[in-house]
Amino acid sequence: MYAIIRSGDKQFRAEPGKTIRIPSLRAEIGDEVTFDEVLIATTDDGTQVGAPTVAGASVTGEVVSHGKDKKVIIFKWKRRKNYRRKQGHRQKFTEVRIGEIKVG
């Protein structure tokens, strides 16, 4: 059993008991979060594909931690113009442990 959910304009595969890293949410550690945008839901009965989402489906999970990813270096330069810009960025994320997948 799994579901494809959308969070922060990205799509993630959610399975019960698994931990996923999604873009940062405003939730405290230990809070329960619900994802209503389920694009595909697969159960023992079969697969349901949403148009654009599966009606009545939701995924619940528990916030495990917050953090930052590895640093990504952005380096811009133009040859022979003495132009160089170096910038770093660390994307914030939230780790969520998937609990239950409800379909229709």
pTM: 0.83
**81: which strand partners?**
none
Q: How many domains does the chain have?
A: 1
**Residues with Cβ within 8 Å of residue 21, at least 6 apart in sequence:** 93, 94, 95, 96
pLDDT in tens, 29-58: 999 999 999 999 998 889 999 889 999 999
Alpha-carbon distance 20 to 4, whole Å? 12
Q: Which domain holds residue 94?
A: 2-102
